[in-house]
Structure formats: structure tokens, C-alpha cells
Amino acid sequence: MKEIILFFISFIPWLLFLFISGHSLYSLELAILICLSSSLIFNYRELRKFYILQWGTFVFFITVFIAINLLKIVWFAEYMSILSNSFLAGIVWFTILIGKPFTLQYARADLPKEKWNDIKLIKGSLFIAKVWGILFLFSLLASILKISLPNILPQWIYTDITLVNIVLGIVFTKVYKHYKRKKKELQR
């Protein structure tokens, strides 16, 4: 359960951004400032432990703060949904490609160090990270559709797609871990 709570807390800056970014440059600038602050407040401990997802989140909000709030680069604001979903998917797929899925850091949080390199733990974490990566790619595709064909669906649907994907990722992680634990108990 601790891992699921950590996952949820890890996504608080992204969830806040999803709900408060609004439809004006001012609301976007305010949302970026709030999300950057929430990244530090809610994820301080994980930032100190060099969790990849938290550092990626922090870097993203620093970058868009500089680009939008300070430099007033409107292009960033216009394509924010694509940029944010690209960055989030990129973080996940980067961790998979380097063989250190972001989910592994959460899984290790509850385990003694001697179990950190267990092959089943690593494979399970990799599988969970791939599911997250696919969900974020789906959110990215929805963002591209939103920008490319703005009137094909109501705007709220795109927000809901991203929100549902995060919830699906959290639920999947919980269900998969429960399934693996039950399977391990039955094998004993």
C-alpha cells in the first residue's frame, strides 16, 4: 500500500497541472508555479534519493517555468499537452531502455537491500513500467489528436483520458503486485 501512496504522491504535480492549467496564459503560468512548488513539497524525500520520476518531473516544471513564465515562449504554451505527455512518457521509456525501470525504485522502498537485485523483482518492475509507458503513449496520442483535430472531441475528454490513464496505472500496479504475491504464496 505504501508503494501505491508513493506513486500517487509522485503524480501530484502532474495531476494538479491537469486540473489547474486552465485556458489562459496567466492560468498556465500560475499552474506551472504551483506544480513546480508541489514537486518540491510532495517529492522532496524522493528528490533527495534521486528517484528518476521525481527528478524528471522537477526538470520538466523548471524548464516550462523558464520557457513560459520567464521567457514568454508562446509555442510552449500552445503545445503544452503534447510536451507534458511526451516528457512523462519519455521519462518512463528512458528508464526502461537503460534497464532501470522507474517502478523499481518504488518496489525497493519496502524491501531489505539483499532483495533489491532479485530477478523476479526486476522483471516485474520492468513489466509494470512498460504498462505505464503504454498508458502515457496513449495520453500522448490523445494530446496530438487534441492539437491536430481540435473539434473532433470535447476538450474535457482529453483531460479525462490522461486522468484515467494515471488511475489505470496505479490500479494495475496494485492488482499486479497483489497477483504476484498470491502466486508466490501458492508456490510455497
Under DSSP, the state recorded for 118 is -
Say how many domains are in the chain: 1
Higher pLDDT, 155 or 42: 42
What's the length of the chain? Answer: 188
Q: Which residue range is the domain that position 134 belongs to?
A: 2-187
Residue 76: name the closest of 88, 95, 60 by CA: 60
Q: Average pLDDT, stretch 91-97? A: 95
Q: How far is CA 105 from CA 63, 95, 111, in A?
A: 24, 11, 10
Does residue 3 surpass a pLDDT of 70?
no
Task: Give residue 101's pLDDT.
Answer: 95
In this predicted structure, what is the pLDDT of residue 1? 67
Q: Which of 102, 99, 120 is nearest to 169 (CA)?
A: 102
Stated pTM of the model: 0.90
* 147-154 mean pLDDT: 89
**pLDDT tens for residues 30-84?**
999 999 999 999 999 999 999 999 999 999 999 999 999 999 999 999 999 999 9
